[in-house]
Amino acid sequence: MTVARFWRETPRRYNLGGNRCTACQTVYFPPRAVCPTCQQHRQSIGKMEPYTLCGDGEVFSYSVVHEAAEGFEMLAPYVLALIKTPEGPLLTGQVVDVTPEEVQVGLRVRASFRKLREDGRAGVIHYGYKFSPVREKGPREAMASPASQEALARAAARVART
């Protein structure tokens, strides 16, 4: 993907921005101009509205990549998964913060904003979403105030990006 196209699609990529057909309520990611679900596609022309996915989901299927593509050699082995979202679309993404052995179909995950790669010598950094497992809260986290939980989440996000 060219740098110009990558930056043009940044808002959608960073916010999991798709769209929804107002005629049949089907959600799409990435966005589509026309709804293929409607009986007559013409019904959806001009009726597709922006829609942001919540970022939650579960592993629908996955594969462990041992021979990585150029630029991703340092990540191997890594898990590439299809994530079924509550809104309906299947998203493709890397599952992080777990070993490949821990990933299984049905694992609950949440999208997180991460560094994807650096492009060439110029060092252009590409960001996007990856998926982390949703961990059940222990007694200590359950008793923490919402403000402290938010602070912990922000700190974890900063650590994850480095």
* pLDDT score for 145: 45
The answer to whether the bond into 30 is cis (omega within 30° of 0) is yes
The answer to whether the bond into 77 is cis (omega within 30° of 0) is yes
* pLDDT score for 141: 47
What's the angle, vertex CA 54, arms to CA 77 and CA 33, rounded to 5?
95
Which single residue is written with the structure tokens 């898990």? 79
Per-residue pLDDT of the chain (162 residues; tens, 9 = 90+): 555 655 555 555 567 889 999 888 999 988 888 888 886 667 778 889 999 999 999 999 999 999 988 877 788 899 999 999 999 999 999 999 999 999 999 999 999 888 777 776 777 777 788 999 998 765 444 444 454 455 556 555 655 555
What's the angle, vertex CA 158, arms to CA 153 and CA 162, rounded to 5?
145
Which candidate, 69, 135, 61, 136, places its Cα nearest to that of 91? 61
* pLDDT score for 16: 87
